[in-house]
Amino acid sequence: MEDIRPNADSGDNAKPDSFIKRLVEKFYALMDNRKIKWSVYAAILAVTIVFPMLFNNFWISVMQYAMLFMLLGLGLNIIVGYTGLIHLGFAANFAVGAYATGILVRTFHWNFWLTLPVSAAVSIVAACIIGGPALRLRSDYFAVVTLGFGEMVRITARNLQITGAASGLSGIRRPYLFGLHLTSITSWYYVFLALVIIFILISFRIKNSRFGRALEYIREDEDAARAMGVNATVYKLFAFIVGAVMGGIAGSFFAVRMGAISPTSFQFLMSANVLLAVVLGGMGKIPGVILGAAFITIFPEAFRNVPMAGSARMLFFGLILVLVMIKRPQGLWPERRR
């Protein structure tokens, strides 16, 4: 019998999708030119550097929050984007670093910069404790374990005296950098900008290394990777550790930037938003993660004070997310598939 169903590629319904597809292909072709690509990156960096000179403190704070999500997104991208693991408790890694620095600075009066190696070490230990047994699991089972890990860390922090219990820690001293006391909003803006650049360089270095290629093989077909001699469990554990350290370092800077932390800052919603930034931007694509983190933080704030739209801005934000996931399920700026 002749198939009389309409062709998915024909008709008026296909025209918008075809137009978007052609537009995306032209964009990728344009970015294949190295001069154009690096010119675009340089222009974005230049605008980011002069941003505090052009906008008020509110928008500087919004950009700081966006850069915090960029840091967390780049850390989670090592686990989710490069390795293909679904991590639903990344806020726990964020919390471990924040509390490690907060306790050492506030209770033991350590210099902030000396707490960073400790924060990294504690993040490694936490990653090994959860990753050792959990990384032998796959798919939904691993996601559920990481979700439980995130809640365990948050509940533990809420019930220990050294972490300030439910009230958290306050009075965390802000550090000095080259003799400059980091108290102004502009100084912290540039600190977070420098961190984002460092995390981007680390991510690119990992992606283009033998380690990154092994993670990609595991993501695409773990059984085939094992058959080719790749120790998938060890590589996944290393990826889990690298992502946890990046999240812990971001947490350390968050603690001293805010001057106070509490368990409410590390709820499941934080993990979900970071995962959303990675998935929305394009898993495994570094510029995509940056774009996704900027989108989920800046877009809702852009409509906060708009008449008739401010109270419903999250509704519009949710609708746009649904439309993006329908039209661009691979993300806003995914890896190019040839």
Instruction: Write the CB contacts of 284 (distance below 8 Å, at least 6 apart in sequence).
Output: 77, 81, 82, 207, 216, 219, 334, 335
Is 179 a domain residue? yes
In this model, does residue 14 exceed pLDDT 80? no
Q: Is 336 within the bounds of a domain?
A: no
What is the H or E stretch that residue 170 is in?
Answer: strand 169-170
- Chain centroid offset of residue 49 CA: 21
Q: Once rounded to an integer, what is the mean pLDDT over residues 319-329?
A: 81
Convert the pLDDT of each residue in 297-320 to its tens digit. 988 887 776 666 556 667 777 888
pLDDT in tens, 132-153: 778 777 777 888 888 998 999 9
**pLDDT of res. 314:** 73
Task: Report the pLDDT averaged over residues 181-200.
Answer: 95
295/325 Cα distance (integer angstroms): 14
Q: What is the CATH number of the domain that holds 103?
A: 1.10.3470
Count of alpha carbons within 13 angstroms of residue 279, beta-carbon side: 17
Mean pLDDT of 193-205: 95
Inside any domain, residue 269: yes
Buried-state track 159-190, b at ≥16 Cβ within 10 A, e below 16: eeeebbeeebbeebebbeeeeeebeeeeebbb
The pLDDT-based confidence of 203 (bands split at 50, 70, 90) is very high
94 domain residue, yes or no: yes
- Residue 3: which pLDDT band, with cuts at 50, 70 and 90? very low
| pLDDT band for position 249 (cuts 50, 70, 90) | very high
Length, in residues, of the chain = 338
User: Coil, helix or strand for 260?
Assistant: strand
Handedness of CA 276, 279, 285, 291 (dihedral sign): negative
pLDDT digits (tens, 9 = 90+) for 96-136: 999 999 999 999 999 999 999 999 999 999 999 888 778 77
Query: What is residue 37's predicted lDDT score, i.e. its pLDDT?
Result: 83
**Res 329: pLDDT:** 79
Sign for the pseudo-dihedral over CA of 167, 120, 256, 293: negative
Q: Is residue 70 situated within a structural domain?
A: yes
For residue 243, being part of any structural domain is answered with yes
- Number of domains forming the structure of the chain: 1
pTM for this predicted structure: 0.89
Task: Pick the more confident residue, 14 or 172.
Answer: 172
Q: By residue range, what is the domain housing residue 242?
A: 59-327
How sure is the predictor about 22, in pLDDT bands with cuts at 50, 70 and 90? confident
CA atoms within 13 A on the CB side of 25: 7
Q: Is residue 4 part of a domain?
A: no
Residue 166 has pLDDT above 80, yes or no: yes
pLDDT at 309: 59
Could you tell me if residue 284 is inside a domain?
yes
Average pLDDT, the chain: 87
Residue in 149, 170, 169 with CA at minimum distance from that of residue 92: 149
CB atoms within 10 A of CB 104: 21
Q: What is the pLDDT of residue 321?
A: 81
Give percent of the chain above pLDDT 90. 57
